[in-house]
Amino acid sequence: MKKYFLAFVFGTSLLTLAACGGGEENNTATDAPAEEGGGAVDTAEAEKIFQQSCSSCHGGNLEGGFGPNLQKVGSKYSQEEIEEIIANGQGQMKGGIVKGEEATTVAAWLAEQK
């Protein structure tokens, strides 16, 4: 029984590391750009990208964990600043985990978290 438990824990750890490391497999095309008509954010798409690429460190509800709490990140940083952090990293977070339009979508959504 201990072997199965250890195998489960090890497998879960690998999945968590893979999610935190990102990868180009997560770069899916979006149906709509992050901002349409003066600032509308595709919330569902942003949340999906966040859950796939960011939640293992920042928590499923933005509550933090290994990474900082992001529940009020929009009060501290603008969309452009958040997108720069996503691109270049900050602290222990490496840059480029989310790229291109997906980074813009997530940054716009996070900027609304106030």
pLDDT value at 85 more than 90: yes
Residue 5's CB is within 10 A of a number of other CB atoms, namely 9
pLDDT recorded at residue 9: 45
Spell out a b/e string for 96-112, using b for 16 or more CB atoms within 10 Å of the CB, else e: ebbbebbbbbbbbbbbe
| b/e code 68-87 from CB counts within 10 Å (16+ = b) | bebbebbeebebeebbbbbe
What share of the chain has pLDDT > 90, as a percent? 64
| pLDDT above 60: residue 4 | no
Taking all residues of the chain, what is their mean pLDDT, rounded to a whole number? 79
- pTM for the model: 0.67
Which of 6-20, 32-46, 92-106 bottoms out in mean pLDDT, i.e. has the lowest?
6-20
H-type alpha helices, 22-78:
43-53, 55-58, 73-76
